[in-house]
Amino acid sequence: MIETESDGYVGYCGLEDVTVARAIHPTIGSGVQLQIALHPRAWGRGLAKQAIEALTDHALHRCGLQRLLACVYEPNERAHRLMLRCRFSKIAGTADPKLVIYERRLP
């Protein structure tokens, strides 16, 4: 992700197969998961929400997927609030590593 105001790198985002998440929690099935990470200097400015909304729209409406997954480390409270604001629902958790798995489906 490149911030247009500064032309500087602030993080990355994308979509990937849920192979890793499925290895940790086999019951989630197949699908695609959202990946996002921001540099701390970019936190609190709405960039993650914008990226998640754009990726979700792309995955569900342009790629024709029925659902999108996201894995969040349990201690990351800001990311949990963000997933809920972006209309993802908690569907599972894992013990090692401590992850919460979220899902967003087409209505």
Between residues 59 and 107, the one the model is more confident about: 59
Q: How far apart are CA 65 and CA 59, in angstroms?
A: 6
**What pLDDT, on the 0 to 100 scale, is given for residue 55?**
94
pLDDT in tens, 56-99: 999 999 998 999 999 899 999 999 999 999 999 999 887 877 88
What average pLDDT does this structure show over 10-15? 91
**What pLDDT, on the 0 to 100 scale, is given for residue 7?**
67
| Phi/psi of residue 93, nearest 5 degrees | -145, 160
Task: With a cut of 70, say whether residue 20 has pLDDT above it.
Answer: no
Long-range pairs of 94-97 with CB within 8 A, sequence gap ≥ 24: 94/24, 94/25, 97/24, 97/73
Task: With a cut of 70, say whether residue 27 has pLDDT above it.
Answer: no
Q: Which fold has domain 2-105?
A: Aminopeptidase (3.40.630)
